[in-house]
Amino acid sequence: MSERVNVTVDGIAVEVEPGTTILQACEAAGVEIPRFCYHERLSVAGNCRMCLVEVEKAPKPVASCAMPVAPDMVVNTQSESVKSAREGVMEFLLINHPLDCPICDQGGECDLQDQALGYGVDSSRFEDNKRAVEEKEMGPLVKTVMTRCIHCTRCVRFATEVAGVPEIGAIGRGEDMEITTYLEASLESEMSGNVIDLCPVGALTSKPYAFTARPWELRKTETIDAMDAVGSNIRVDVRGREVMRILPRDHDAVNEEWLSDKSRFVWDGLNTQRLDKPYLRVEGKLQATDWQRAFDAIATRLEAGAGQVAALAGDLVCTEGQFALKSLMEKLGSPHLDCRQDGAKLSGPRANYLFNTGIAGIEDADALLLIGTNPRLEAAVLNARIRKAWLAGHFPIAAIGQPSDLTYDAEFIGAGPQTLKELVDGKHGFAEVLAKAERPMLILGQGALAREDGAGIFAQALALAEKTGMISDGWNGFNVLHTAAGRVGGMDVGFLPGEDGRDRDGIIEGCKSGDISTVILYGADEIDRAELGDAFVIYVGSHGDRGAHGADVILPAAAYTEKQAIYVNTEGRAQMTERAAFPPGDAREDWKIFRALSDRLGVTLEFDTVDTLRTAMFEHAPQLARLDELVPAGSPETPVAALPDLDEAGFAPVITDYYFTNPVARASATMAACAEARRTRAKAVGGTGTDG
């Protein structure tokens, strides 16, 4: 290990690693350095010059963001020359910046405003006309006021380096330089909204949020996202009872500081098409009712005993709700329940269905195989982590499935199970790449698992992992990538078929045959009502989507921003959401609905508070009590059951429209605008709009 370097900053002695920049050394000493272009997760540009400091024996102030420290370096950040240099830089940056703070959406959250007050002067020597720049069209999400732009190039570097979609660049020179998208096309990235956070001057702002609220009007709640299985840490801003925006929070092990566009801009879907009262189907039409009548209708149906009851859990449901419903099903004596709404063939020990390396562990791997997954659409933030590892070098990537633009170089070596079998048999060259790697990994997606031969594909993938040394002491490179926020939590609490119980496909078949007469759809909106035959359907959920449209009884529930609940992400990390707003109307938290229903059915559940529910849940799944921890899950195991023959058909994508994957997204006007913009661009270039 290299010896640490001694540096003195404003008389404070610090020790830092070799290669540390002066700016980082100053921060280690507790000294604030103003900056605009510098960002710790982007490459160094060194073009704003706001971070100038004085270094002993240097002839002039130096840009601290771009210069590494040297042994025994003495840095002064408070000298008159530094103060004068910063004032000059600030005056220069503000030459063309309009004085439109009162109407700027960045008002109250503007880095330029704060730093101008702290390090600038109260006057300007510039007396000529200010430059004006035409606005750019960047799509439905990003609003531009390019006259404010100071050319820090944060947006350019993010698009190129993190998002992997180099669509933003600079044209012109000098004062004619402008930041724009190439051919003034809309941004085609699932991560484009992050440029809004990165822009320090309000040149790029949120188009859906524009002129709707000021930051001091909003109540801010730190919570967890549920639009995919990454479990991104977010902040939900609410005015009154209405969600106004969603922003990312830092979590280095999960989402760093990034957020996918769907997670960021879906907030308007939380305010529309909401279920706010119970409904009962009378003479073929849904009519509003009250809780008592809805429960009475369910009780009458179940007491008739015309068949068995089954339950299916959807993608956005919380762990507490699934545990409560499972407990109710046990009281009713039914083993027919499944949280795998897509029919994924996953079972066995916990390591069988987790992203075992952890999301941050992607950066430690040195070879990757993607099987039946498009992480760009299924988990955009996780895909950015793969790109980060790829950019670091020496990270070969191969994929089995439908070719698509993943934002990094991946060799598509085949379409389906046959290629996977060739890898297992050692007949494909990439098997040797995996075997030679020190820390190889694979990612098994739902496109490979949600098929009739999913269990067989799982067994083949595990055999490949074992053969190529992916599973060893201190490293488990066998990863399953989920697309549903509630899936891992459901499997953790055992929301799966019991003894002689039917899985998702069995429940549908039972409905068609009449063996199952009643189905509880708990947020399960991806089930075709026609497949359920004449079964009596009870829908418990937050939005009037597909599940509610075909239901006989609707029980309104809370969305993920309206309850304190545990969600478990794809890597098995349990995280707690917090209530940002209250559910609308008569809607209730999920577990309370099942507790009240159990009381009406005469099979009262033992818990009557969320604390007693969690106590029972933690006894069943102790790992859920360890919030924000990665609990070791051991090694995956091949299912004991007989494995089906592999189908020769290629792996189909599980997401065909990134913006419409769940009820909240389908209720969002912003997501609809994004989908339309992508379709329009796809038609213009002759594509399908589904290839990322």
State yes or no: pLDDT of 169 exceeds 60.
yes
- Mean pLDDT for the stretch of residues 298-326: 92
Q: How are beta strands 279-282 and 367-371 bridged, if at all?
A: unpaired
State yes or no: pLDDT of 360 exceeds 90.
yes
- Mean pLDDT for the stretch of residues 593-600: 96
- Mean pLDDT for the stretch of residues 74-100: 91
- Please report which confidence band the pLDDT of residue 306 belongs to, taking 50, 70 and 90 as the band edges: low
Retrieve residue 576's tokens: 């707690």
Between the CA of residue 327 and those of 332, 594, 635, what are the distances in Å? 9, 9, 29
- Please report which confidence band the pLDDT of residue 2 belongs to, taking 50, 70 and 90 as the band edges: low
Q: What is the pLDDT of residue 440?
A: 96
Q: What is the pLDDT of residue 106?
A: 86
387: helix, coil or strand?
Answer: helix
Q: 687 has which bridge partners?
A: none
Retrieve residue 420's tokens: 């996977």
Mean pLDDT of the chain: 93
Tell me the whole-structure pTM to 2 decimals.
0.93
> Which has more pLDDT, 491 or 105?
491
List, as one string, the DSSP characters of 454-505: HHHHHHHHHHHHHHTT-EETTEE-EEE--S-TTHHHHHHTT-S--TT---HH
Q: What is the pLDDT of residue 686?
A: 63
Q: What is the pLDDT of residue 287?
A: 96
Q: 638-664 burial, b for 16+ CB within 10 Å, e for fewer?
A: ebeeebeebeeebbebbbebbbbbbbb
How much of the chain, in percent, has pLDDT values that exceed 70? 98
- Please report which confidence band the pLDDT of residue 642 belongs to, taking 50, 70 and 90 as the band edges: low
State yes or no: pLDDT of 432 exceeds 80.
yes
List, as one string, the DSSP characters of 94-141: TSS--S-GGG-TTTTS-HHHHHHHHHS-S-----SPPP--------SS
- Please report which confidence band the pLDDT of residue 561 belongs to, taking 50, 70 and 90 as the band edges: very high
- Mean pLDDT for the stretch of residues 368-389: 97
Between the CA of residue 411 and those of 416, 463, 567, what are the distances in Å? 14, 21, 34
- Mean pLDDT for the stretch of residues 524-541: 94
Residue 205: name the closest of 116, 138, 115, 131 by CA: 138
pLDDT in tens, 453-487: 999 999 999 999 999 999 998 899 999 999 999 99
| CA pair distance 142, 638, nearest whole angstrom | 47
Q: What is the pLDDT of residue 1?
A: 46
- Type of residue found at 48: C
Residue 76: name the closest of 58, 53, 57, 60 by CA: 53
State yes or no: pLDDT of 153 exceeds 80.
yes
List, as one string, the DSSP characters of 279-300: EEEETTEEEE--HHHHHHHHHH
Q: What is the pLDDT of residue 323?
A: 98
pLDDT in tens, 179-200: 998 877 778 899 999 999 999 9
Retrieve residue 516's tokens: 């199952």
Q: What is the pLDDT of residue 692?
A: 46
State yes or no: pLDDT of 691 exceeds 70.
no
pLDDT in tens, 623-636: 999 999 999 898 99
**Residue 80, φ and ψ in degrees, nearest 5:** -65, -35
Between the CA of residue 360 and those of 223, 447, 509, what are the distances in Å? 20, 23, 41
Q: What is the pLDDT of residue 3?
A: 84
**Kindly report the CA angle at 679 between 675 and 683, in degrees rounded to 5?**
170
Contacts of 664 (CB under 8 A, 6+ apart): 227, 266, 269, 270, 316, 542, 543, 559
Alpha-helical (H) ranges within 367-476 are: 375-378, 380-391, 417-424, 429-436, 446-449, 454-467
Q: What is the pLDDT of residue 174?
A: 81
Q: 221 has which bridge partners?
A: 236
State yes or no: pLDDT of 608 exceeds 50.
yes
Q: What is the pLDDT of residue 381?
A: 97
583: helix, coil or strand?
Answer: coil
Q: Are 167 and 188 in contact (CB under 8 A)?
A: yes
State yes or no: pLDDT of 689 exceeds 60.
no
18: helix, coil or strand?
Answer: coil
Report the chain's C-alpha Rg in angstroms. Answer: 28
pLDDT in tens, 252-296: 999 999 999 999 999 999 999 999 999 999 999 999 999 999 999
